[in-house]
């Protein structure tokens, strides 16, 4: 697991990691490549990526409908059964 920070100064990111005892590396992204690559709408966001670089899940994030399970893709809408008259 890694954390990606968008736009903060390296010293601030390092201080944040130390202050909150973050147990994983923190990277700094200053060109929005990760946002575009993984479809990040806002921060904070959680994107689960497998070893092949595929998105396998998402956490709750800005712009996501409330109540949606954050680690599963949305289900297609259910079709209602038609009744014969």
The residue whose two tokens read 């990111």 is 13
**H or E stretch covering 48:** strand 47-49
Token reading at 81: 């059964």
User: Per mean pLDDT, which of 16-25, 54-63, 65-74 is the most reliable?
Assistant: 16-25
Token reading at 61: 């994030």
Provide the mean pLDDT of the chain. Answer: 77
User: Per mean pLDDT, which of 6-15, 25-34, 47-56, 57-66 is the most reliable?
Assistant: 6-15
What is the distance of C-alpha 41 from the center of its chain? 9
* pTM for this predicted structure: 0.55
Residue 31 has pLDDT above 70, yes or no: yes
Residue 66 has pLDDT above 60, yes or no: no
Burial class (CB in 10 A: 0-12, 13-18, 19+), 78: exposed
């Amino acid at each position: 697991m890694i954390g990606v920070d968008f736009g903060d100064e390296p010293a601030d990111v390092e201080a944040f990691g130390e202050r909150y005892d973050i147990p994983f590396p923190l990277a700094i992204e200053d060109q929005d490549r990760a946002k575009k690559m993984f479809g990040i709408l806002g921060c904070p966001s959680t994107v689960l990526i497998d070893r092949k670089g595929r998105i396998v899940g998402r956490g709750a994030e800005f712009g996501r409908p409330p109540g949606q399970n954050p680690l599963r893709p949305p289900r297609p809408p259910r079709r209602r059964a038609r009744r014969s008259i």
